Amino acid sequence: MASYIDAADVRRELASGSGNTRISNSYDDLLEDMIEEATRLIDDYKRVEPGAYKASSSETRYFAGSGTARQTIDYAVSVSAVAVEESDGTYTTWTEDTDFYTWPYNASSIGEPIRALQVVDKSGTTKSVFTLGQKRVKVTGVFGVASSPPDTVARACKIVVARWFKRGQQGWQDAGISADSGQMQYVKELDPDVKVLLAAAFPHVGAGI
């Protein structure tokens, strides 16, 4: 799965404070492991699928038809094709801006993903609803929240990994011993200021909401 930053980003972050020096790239393997863990932690916190803030691969997904003029889909960066099973066993290709609109209308401009389709209700349209039933709507597109991580997401990921790395250098002084396994465990949850950064990123939800 895509990670939202790379080791060089973290090394720059660690060297940014007053009096700090740039760390060696010999730590890159460790940093990349931490980055992957931090990326998945952010995905879980924001309740999005893995890699949603760096979506790039096109795929086809099927959805149960709503039976209405509005069809909810998974978050998508872009939609390249839509087909609807209007009669059993036969999918009919629908044309964007003629048969359907993506919603929100200006998704990329406002920094949000596409998350629904709407039937065009102008005169002359031949479509009225997305056929009700199982697996009636076929959508091809790039599914996710963004094609590149928003600044707040990237910044949050850098902060998380930099703090983990510094805690490791200090011998995980915030760690404790598990009563069940007897193994050392260290804090791997998001700090409050990181949560504030992530609150600005779509979707506007966090853990427990």
pLDDT tens sequence across 119-169: 999 877 889 999 999 999 999 999 999 999 999 999 999 999 998 888 877
Share of the chain above pLDDT 70, in %: 85
- pLDDT above 80 for 51: yes
- Compute the radius of gyration of the chain from its Cα atoms: 22
Q: Where is 160: in which H helix or E strand?
A: helix 151-169
Give the rounded distance of the alpha carbon of 150 from its chain centre.
10
70-87/133-143 β-pairing: antiparallel
2 closest CA partner among 205, 195, 156, 149? 149
CA distance 129 to 138: 14
pLDDT tens sequence across 57-102: 999 999 999 999 999 999 999 999 999 999 888 999 999 999 999 9
- pLDDT above 80 for 18: no
Quote the DSSP letter at residue 96.
B
pLDDT tens sequence across 122-131: 877 889 999 9
137 closest CA partner among 193, 72, 47, 185? 72
Here the tokens at position 166 are 């510094």
Domain-wise residue ranges, the chain: 7-52+149-199, 56-143
The whole-model pTM stands at 0.83
What confidence category does residue 205 fall into, taking pLDDT thresholds of 50, 70 and 90?
low
